[in-house]
Structure formats: C-alpha cells, structure tokens
Amino acid sequence: MATYAIGDVQGCYDALQRLLEKIRFDPAADQLWFCGDLVNRGGQSLETLRLVYSLAIHSTVVLGNHDLSLLAISTRREADRRKVNPDLQRVLFADDAEPMLAWLRRQKLFHVDRKLGFALVHAGLAPQWDIAEAEARAREVEDRLRGDGFAKLARHMYGDKPAWSPKLAGVDRIRAIINVFTRLRYCTPGGRIGFEEKGRPGSQKPGLYPWFEVPGQAVRDLPIVCGHWSTLGLFMGLGVYAIDTGAVWGGRLTALELGPELRLHQVPGRDPPQRGPRGDD
C-alpha cells in the first residue's frame, strides 16, 4: 500500500494518466493526495475531474484557487457561466456537472494525517499558524463552503484584503483564510501576502519572504506537502515538499510517494502553451 501526493494537474488529463501508469496505481491498495487546482488551463478539465471523482474513495483532495473559482462560477447565471474559457465551460455544462461540483465543494482546504506523518495544503500556511491552528481555520471555512449560503459567500470571497488577523470576522475573515490556503507564496512576518510576487525566491520585493522561510514563524510538528507555486519548482526542505512542477506550462507532473522513505515520480506535462504569461498558478 502506498500514498502518492500529486502536484497541480490543472486539467492535464493525459499527463495524469501517464503518471498513474508510471506509479502503477492500484486502487485496491493505494491512496492519492491531490494538492489542488485539478482544473483550468490544461484543456482537459472535464476529463480530469471525472477521473478524480471516480477515484473519490481512494483520494484526498485539497481545494486550490482554480477549484474555488470554478465553484464560484458555477453559482452564477448561465449567461455569466458562458463567458469563461472553453475548458471550464465544458465542466460547467456537462451532464454530470452537478454531482461532481457538489463533491468538489465538500473537499478540504487542509488535510492532516498524523499516522502517515504529513499535512497537505494547496498554497501554504500563515506565519502565525501551527498545524493545529491551520486545522481549526480550515474547518471554519469548510463549514461555510459546504453550507447553504455558499452562493452568497462566492460573491464576496475574492479580494486581496484584509491580511489575516484573529480579530477578523464575517466575510473578511473567510476571505483572508482562503487567501492563505490557496494563494500564498510570499508574505511579511506579520502575514501580509505579496499577491503580485510570483517568481522564484530572490525575485520578490524587500520585506517579503517565501511563506516557509518567514522569520519567527510558528513551529510545525508535521512536514507539509503543497503545490500552487510552479515557478518555485520542486522544492524539498525546511519541512516543506512543494511539488507543483508546472505540468500545465510544459513542465512535469510530479507524484511524491509518502512514507519513511520518500520516492519521486515524474512524467512530462502538456506541450507548452504558445503564448500568454503565467497568471495566478
């Protein structure tokens, strides 16, 4: 039996199939951990979502910013849903969209497995959060995402402000928590996120640090597997295993076999896009 953490798929279904073949994934024995951003940009988001949905009992999924965006768009009127890119439209207007999106909305923001000895998140953790604090903040938001008021929440959960503070309340609090879990790369020691900074470490403005290098951050008793930061590339150190290796940008799709002895498995991603800059990975 093995557990494999898989980096951002972003609709690269063919690459995901190649990766599952390479690791000889056995649903009777193995488990998959997905770092979020199952969908968008890869051109095969519908096929990807269908595959992961079919493997739901064998998978743990944490939500990424692109997954949350898809869920938010799904609450809008049809005319607005038809304005998004064709890759996401294929998901939104598929005959089986309703059960898949309902399942996606029930997924986690942060997953902890103390027996295995790892935690899983899409982007990162606020400097002030240890593992227990992150679990509490995740559960707080997950209850709202799964509740009857999700459509209302979806209209207000986007924005770069405010920075996280335990004093926040209401939608500002929910937005700040979501931003940490799904959009964080760089931040200040106080937790203000540098949303504009998306390059490799060393390219950021003064006063900003990679979230896992912030001075004085909380001590965490588990290593963290994450994705989201394709320009960082494969990074394993400081209690962090970052495995978004840019499959959607022509890089590789990565699986990290978790356990006492870590093993890395990679396959080619999709052919690199012809034009257009990277946005919010």
DSSP state of 230: T
What whole-number percentage of the chain has pLDDT above 90? 94
74: its two tokens = 């799904």
Local confidence band at 113 (pLDDT 50, 70, 90 cut-offs): very high
pLDDT in the model for residue 271: 84
pLDDT tens string 44-75: 999 999 999 999 999 999 999 999 999 999 99
Q: Is the pLDDT of residue 279 over 60?
A: no
3-class state of residue 40 by DSSP: coil
Nearest to 228 by CA among 176, 183, 273: 183
Local confidence band at 1 (pLDDT 50, 70, 90 cut-offs): confident
Cα 198 from chain centre: 15
Q: What is the mean pLDDT of residues 159-179?
A: 96
Q: Is the pLDDT of residue 277 over 70?
A: no
Domain ranges of the chain: 3-268
pLDDT in the model for residue 199: 97
Q: Is the pLDDT of residue 274 over 90?
A: no
Q: What is the mean pLDDT of residues 172-188?
A: 98
User: What pairs with residue 241 in β-bridges?
Assistant: 225, 236
Quote helix, strand, coil % in the chain, to nearest 5: 35, 15, 50
How many C-beta atoms lie closer than 10 Å to residue 261's C-beta? 6
Averaged confidence pLDDT in the chain: 96
Local confidence band at 134 (pLDDT 50, 70, 90 cut-offs): very high
Length of the chain: 281
Q: What is the mean pLDDT of residues 140-149?
A: 95
Nearest to 63 by CA among 108, 116, 95, 101: 108
Nearest to 199 by CA among 226, 246, 232: 232
pLDDT in the model for residue 272: 75
Is 3.60.21.10 the CATH number for 3-268? yes
User: Cβ neighbours of residue 45 under 8 Å, at least 6 residues apart?
Assistant: 10, 11, 38, 39, 70, 87, 88, 90, 91
How many C-beta atoms lie closer than 10 Å to residue 82's C-beta? 11
Confirm if 208 and 194 have CB atoms less than 8 A apart: yes
- Between CA 110 and CA 152 the distance in angstroms is 23
pLDDT in the model for residue 280: 66
Residue pointed to by tokens 């926040």:
168
Q: What is the mean pLDDT of residues 148-176?
A: 94
Nearest to 71 by CA among 138, 157, 7: 157
pLDDT tens string 240-253: 999 999 999 999 99
- Between CA 157 and CA 179 the distance in angstroms is 9
pLDDT tens string 4-44: 999 999 999 999 999 999 999 999 999 999 999 999 999 99
113 phi and psi angles, rounded to 5 deg: -130, 95
Helix (H) or strand (E) holding 180: helix 170-183
pLDDT in the model for residue 260: 87
- Between CA 211 and CA 236 the distance in angstroms is 14
Local confidence band at 259 (pLDDT 50, 70, 90 cut-offs): confident
pLDDT in the model for residue 154: 93
